[in-house]
Amino acid sequence: MIALLLAVALAAPEPKREHFQRVEVIYGRVGRGLRTFVTKPREARGRVPVIFFVGWLSCDSMEYPGGDTDGFGAFMRRLIDQPGFATLRMDKPGVGESEGDCARADLDAELAGWRAAFDSLSTYDFVDTSKIFVVGISNGGGFSPLAVRGKPVLGYVAVGSWGRTWYEHMLEQERGNLERAKKSPAEVNSGVKALASFYDLYLVQGLTPGAVLARHPEWKQYWSDASDGQYGRPAAFYQQLQALNLGAVWQDISAPVLSVRGGDDVIMTRADAETLARIARNGRYVEVPGMTHLLTVAGKFHEPAAAMVNAFLREQLR
């Protein structure tokens, strides 16, 4: 049996890995078997500042062995492969080489992973833990301070993110979906009224979407996702997002905060991203005309977005 297991292990192909010009990648694990990706500048002498990335909602890996396959990956790779910074990313439960099941992992489980990853920064002798930056992407940008748990950082960046209640975010998202589906103004109004009640039962009262529709079958026309969750995550994930008080989270942040959003972002609205910057003590909101949620303009990654964030980070170091 041991020989058989050894033969299987030897036969398993090596996973395809990322390659960068200026940094080396160190693979680790934190928490309950969660994969981390730590990068160290090849020319590092002593301790260097670090960027801690907090990722998005979907069950997609933060590792990009194929290069710039989407805008989020291109954005991170630009920040990773610049001189003078270490970085840390993590794959949430059940994603990539992380143990678990992403489709069943709730926010509490994911947040425990981010906290373990953040705490692991102190174990790397090339990381200057007095110079930490937190860069949250999409959903992760909204709750990223919770991963830090009050520990000092030099600055926060939220890219295409949110700072209101998840209920407000979803109602505005659903209104936009109805309008983009070319519904009449009357149909949009009726749909938003129904969905306001639907999301109250789902997000606030704690029912699954299927249980809500069992009570109100007349709302089935507005729901095309799963009966026990949404966007590939369980219902509890979104109920826990709704339970967060992001006003309380961000009003106590004294570090500089940069909230960046694309003008053509149909996932996170201006109200989502602007609120985050407004309630932070030292927040700034920047909207990039024509940029999408995935940081593209005319189908290509918008290079100035990474340059803007890089400039913000270096400004805080000065």
Q: What is the pTM of this model?
A: 0.94
Under CATH, which architecture does the 19-164+245-317 domain have?
Answer: 3-Layer(aba) Sandwich (3.40)
Question: SS3 for 84?
Answer: coil
The Cα 254–Cα 280 span in angstroms is 7
- Backbone dihedral angles phi then psi of residue 164, each to the nearest 5 degrees: -110, -160
The Cα 208–Cα 214 span in angstroms is 10
* 232 strand-pairing partners: none
Residues ≥6 apart with Cβ < 8 Å to 286: 258, 259, 260, 261, 308
pLDDT of residue 296: 98
Domains in the chain: boundaries? 19-164+245-317, 166-241
Q: What is the DSSP letter of 164?
A: S
Determine which helix (DSSP H) or strand (DSSP E) holds 3, and give its type and residue range: helix 2-11
Per-10-residue mean pLDDT, the chain, length 318? 54 80 96 97 93 97 96 98 96 97 97 98 97 98 96 97 98 97 98 98 98 98 97 98 97 96 97 96 98 98 98 95
Question: SS3 for 41?
Answer: strand
pLDDT of residue 9: 47
The CA angle 122-124-129, to the nearest 5 degrees, is 45
